[in-house]
Chain A
Amino acid sequence: MATFDTVHESANIIPDVRPFAVRRFPLFLALSLGVIALLIVLHIAVGTLDFSPVQIVKALVDQAEDPLHRQVVWGLRLPRALVAIVAGAMLGLAGAILQTVTRNPLAEPGLMGVSSGGVLAIVIYIVFGAGVSADSGLILPLVGLIGGMTAATLTYLLSYSNGTDPIRLVLTGVLVAGMCSAFTSLLLLWADDYQVQRIIRWTVGSTSGRVWVHWETLYPIALIAIPIGLVSAGLANVLQLGDSVARGIGQRVELARLFLLFAASLLTAGAVAVVGAVGFIGLIGPHMARRIVGGDVRRLFPMSVILTAALLIGSDILARTLTIGWIGIITGLDIPDTAGLPVGAVTALLGAPFFLVLLLRRKHAL
């Protein structure tokens, strides 16, 4: 990436009019990472127990004055923040890959049916599987991963005929997702009250109660899938020129697409398995990234990772600070006053206006 940028700088004759984020991409990336670190601290700071930033940093570097600080920060809040960051990063990368592969700016990670498939598998397990409180175990994320990958495979196979047409893939994904959701609804009829409460958290996406055990299931997948996604940038760059051009340049188009779709599905399934089907974040993040660093996927992919991670942890901060009891007080509606929103609800609410503007304003993108 560095050489990519310096070539232009050495050619001094042409003034480089590209935006700062593009010219100094590595620096910009580093700065963004700094922002993420700040968000982690902020994320840890909000909650029922108030901490000062100094206390948090001290607790993080194991210099806490009060052992309680250390316990809360390390035991409860840090894992949740890390899960949010990594899940966001995975969804962002998955979204960026899918938007590139399908050449469709409206593509999002849920598109291959991955999210709905993952949720369906988890719901099947909760309803029919062992009655154990498996939320904290390894098994649920594993089930989710398998479900998500199964749905993605199904989508790919159903849309395959002499290669896959990206748009057809999307539409097939919509149908597969629809079927999965329908069966999820059916299973709810058999679930008891407690199970319903748990299931709903998966369907909307939530980071609450995520602790180290979740982190342990998330990070190995991330460690495999994120690098796979990032190195596939070269493939994606060629592929987004269109099938015929890509083939002409010498790419084995179908293989490249399969590889990219696999990476995206793995990323999504991994994230969904741990935080549930958090919507729209993987659509918005890559979009904003594209605005900032342009369409070259070698910059777009890393930027999407960082930006979406920031978005998810930011949404989680909002989810933790906002209670919506006041809506009930103002409108007299039946809302419990301690009600908070799961992070998936926050991303959906934030995503809605963004999405509509995107849809109606960017003519050429469609």
Chain B
Amino acid sequence: MQVSATLSPPMSPGDRRPARLSRVGVVALVLLTALFSIGVLALMLGITAVSAEEVLRIVFTDGGERVPRIVIWEVRLPRFLLGALAGAALAVAGAMLQDALNNELAEPGLLGVSTGASLIVAVVVIFNIAVPFGMLPVLALIGGLAVGGVILLATRITRDPVRMILIGAALGALFSALITAVIVLGSPDEIRVLYSYLVGSLIGRDWDDVRLALPWIAAALPIALCFGRPLNLLQLGDDMAEGLGLPVFRTRTLIFTVAIALQAAVVAVAGPIGFIALLAPHMVRGLLATTDARQVLPISALVGAVLLTSADLLARELFSPAELPVGLITIGIGSPIALFLLRRLFIRRTA
């Protein structure tokens, strides 16, 4: 819509689109600055504390002392980058699912999609299946798509957003039960690792994990951003969208596939980190005062990155030197907000 504003003749007074466009720019700039600051902070803090100057020198030049250089390049930087990537991917996936299902509460976690992906990873870990490098996201994608397929079929049964979440929650419960059934067979060590993984964690993630997730996210993110206009149509409801010329079921299937691919890449490396996908798009819609998916999608990516990296910073430093899985932070903060969104959804439903 920002594009059209520049082309259309000036309309009646109160045309607020040009203002909106500049708001998008300002918000994007602020978010990028925030992300950069969190990045510097994430590289500074830790057992080996490094000053901000030193951090910049180490990252942007060949200089710096040896130990901080190794700590930053081998431990902190990949972890931060992975957090930013994962956050962006989750947020965009959430924004897509929310619009595609026309459902404020749609989120890979609440829909059971991430649980499906996690089941595959749990099976791989417990049964010590040798998976070639790079295949884990593919497997996670298959698990996620299995649940996504059921949700898609369910869209033909009910279009009530609340019922849809109920179905997703039930699917999630089903897959959690299956995960537990698999986990029982593991050794205590495997169980502990898996449980921490199932909350979602970035502890000890390195360049290998970045390499695993990056191609997926780099490929799927631009595709995701192309779905802005179809998503806007889907917000109007299935019948309306179909009437306006959008092949609804086919488009929704495509959107699901892209969103679940983004999600699966994250699940494969960091586990099903909850609520980023739910919260980021809502924050963006509030910030930009629009539901236009063409603006919400890219800004969501930035907000998601900021949210997840700052949550991970918190998870690292809160009980330092002990590190928490970042999923615990996002659940702790996200659940109450989800309750609030739920309340709002019900108020609108009765209105």
- With a 10 A CB-CB cut-off, give which of B163, B165, B166, B335 has the most chain A CB atoms: B166
**Do B196 and A189 touch across chains, with their CB atoms under 8 A apart?**
yes
**Do B196 and A188 touch across chains, with their CB atoms under 8 A apart?**
yes
**Do B196 and A366 touch across chains, with their CB atoms under 8 A apart?**
no
**Do B335 and A193 touch across chains, with their CB atoms under 8 A apart?**
no
Task: Report B-chain residues with C-beta under 8 Å of the C-beta of A47.
Answer: none
Rounded to whole Å, the gap between the CB of A272 and the closest CB of chain B is 14
Task: Report A-chain residues with C-beta under 8 Å of the C-beta of B342.
Answer: 168, 171-172, 175
B34 CB-CB contact with A under 8 Å: no
**Do B327 and A182 touch across chains, with their CB atoms under 8 A apart?**
yes
**Do B180 and A196 touch across chains, with their CB atoms under 8 A apart?**
no
Rounded to whole Å, the gap between the CB of A189 and the closest CB of chain B is 6
Decide: A204 near B180, CB < 8 A? Known: A167-B166, A333-B127, A366-B163: yes
Tally of contact residues, A, Cβ under 8 A: 58
B82 CB-CB contact with A under 8 Å: no
A291 CB-CB contact with B under 8 Å: no
B132 CB-CB contact with A under 8 Å: no
Q: Which residue of B lies closest to A199 (CB)?
A: B191
- With a 10 A CB-CB cut-off, give which of A188, A336, A352 has the most chain B CB atoms: A188
Rounded to whole Å, the gap between the CB of B270 and the closest CB of chain A is 14
**Do A334 and B154 touch across chains, with their CB atoms under 8 A apart?**
no
User: Which of A28-36, A69-77, A339-347 forms part of the interface with chain B?
Assistant: A339-347
Rounded to whole Å, the gap between the CB of A139 and the closest CB of chain B is 23
When each residue 178-195 of chain B gets 1 if its CB lies under 8 Å from chain A and 0 otherwise, what string results?
Answer: 101101110011011001
**A192 vs B183: C-alpha distance when bound (angstroms):** 16
B174 CB-CB contact with A under 8 Å: yes
Q: Which residue of B lies closest to A179 (CB)?
A: B335
**Do B127 and A334 touch across chains, with their CB atoms under 8 A apart?**
yes
Task: Report A-chain residues with C-beta under 8 Å of the C-beta of B325.
Answer: 185-186
**Do A188 and B192 touch across chains, with their CB atoms under 8 A apart?**
yes
Q: Which residue of B lies closest to A345 (CB)?
A: B181
B274 CB-CB contact with A under 8 Å: yes
Task: Report B-chain residues with C-beta under 8 Å of the C-beta of A334.
Answer: 126-128
Q: Which residue of A lies closest to B168 (CB)?
A: A174
Task: Report B-chain residues with C-beta under 8 Å of the C-beta of A200.
Answer: 180, 183-184, 191
Decide: A366 near B167, CB < 8 A? Known: A165-B346, A185-B195: yes
**Do B181 and A178 touch across chains, with their CB atoms under 8 A apart?**
no
A355 CB-CB contact with B under 8 Å: yes
Tally of contact residues, B, Cβ under 8 A: 52
Which residues of A176-224 are within 8 A (CB) of B? 176, 178-179, 181-186, 188-189, 191-194, 196-197, 200-201, 203-204
Task: Report B-chain residues with C-beta under 8 Å of the C-beta of A191.
Answer: 192
A285 CB-CB contact with B under 8 Å: no
**Do A279 and B177 touch across chains, with their CB atoms under 8 A apart?**
yes
Which residues of A23-43 are within 8 A (CB) of B? none
**Do A344 and B167 touch across chains, with their CB atoms under 8 A apart?**
no
Task: Report A-chain residues with C-beta under 8 Å of the C-beta of B88.
Answer: none
A359 CB-CB contact with B under 8 Å: yes
Q: How many A-B residue pairs have CB under 8 A?
A: 146
**Do B180 and A175 touch across chains, with their CB atoms under 8 A apart?**
no
**A203 vs B342: C-alpha distance when bound (angstroms):** 28
**Do B170 and A355 touch across chains, with their CB atoms under 8 A apart?**
yes
B169 CB-CB contact with A under 8 Å: yes
**Do B178 and A333 touch across chains, with their CB atoms under 8 A apart?**
no
Which residues of A150-175 are within 8 A (CB) of B? 158, 161, 165, 167-168, 170-172, 174-175
Name the contact of B177 in the complex, choosing from A170, A179, A188, A351 (C-beta under 8 A): A351
**Do A104 and B166 touch across chains, with their CB atoms under 8 A apart?**
yes
Name the contact of B110 in the complex, choosing from A174, A351, A363 (C-beta under 8 A): A174
Rounded to whole Å, the gap between the CB of A352 and the closest CB of chain B is 6
A316 CB-CB contact with B under 8 Å: no
Task: Report B-chain residues with C-beta under 8 Å of the C-beta of A186.
Answer: 199, 324-325, 328
Task: Report A-chain residues with C-beta under 8 Å of the C-beta of B185.
Answer: 324, 335-336, 339
**A152 vs B158: C-alpha distance when bound (angstroms):** 28
Task: Report A-chain residues with C-beta under 8 Å of the C-beta of B346.
Answer: 165, 168
Decide: A106 near B331, CB < 8 A? Known: A344-B181, A345-B180, A348-B180: no
B153 CB-CB contact with A under 8 Å: yes
**Do A280 and B174 touch across chains, with their CB atoms under 8 A apart?**
yes
B259 CB-CB contact with A under 8 Å: no
B150 CB-CB contact with A under 8 Å: yes
Q: Which residue of A lies closest to B165 (CB)?
A: A171
B129 CB-CB contact with A under 8 Å: yes
When each residue 9-39 of chain B gets 1 if its CB lies under 8 Å from chain A and 0 otherwise, what string results?
Answer: 0000000000000000000000000000000
Task: Report A-chain residues with C-beta under 8 Å of the C-beta of B1.
Answer: none
**Do B167 and A106 touch across chains, with their CB atoms under 8 A apart?**
yes
Decide: A279 near B173, CB < 8 A? Known: A106-B166, A200-B184, A359-B167: yes
**Do A280 and B169 touch across chains, with their CB atoms under 8 A apart?**
no
B314 CB-CB contact with A under 8 Å: no
**A200 vs B335: C-alpha distance when bound (angstroms):** 25
Name the contact of B192 in the complex, choosing from A196, A201, A279, A366 (C-beta under 8 A): A196
**A206 vs B310: C-alpha distance when bound (angstroms):** 40
Question: Which 6 pairs of residues, A with B, have the shortest CB-CB distance?
Answer: A345-B181, A348-B177, A193-B188, A196-B188, A279-B177, A185-B195
Q: List 8 A-B contacts (CB under 8 A).
A: A104-B166, A167-B163, A171-B165, A174-B165, A175-B335, A279-B173, A279-B177, A366-B157
Q: A178-B331, A197-B188 are in contact. List 13 more A-B contacts (CB 8 A).
A: A168-B342, A172-B342, A178-B274, A181-B176, A182-B199, A186-B328, A196-B191, A196-B192, A204-B183, A333-B129, A334-B126, A335-B185, A366-B163
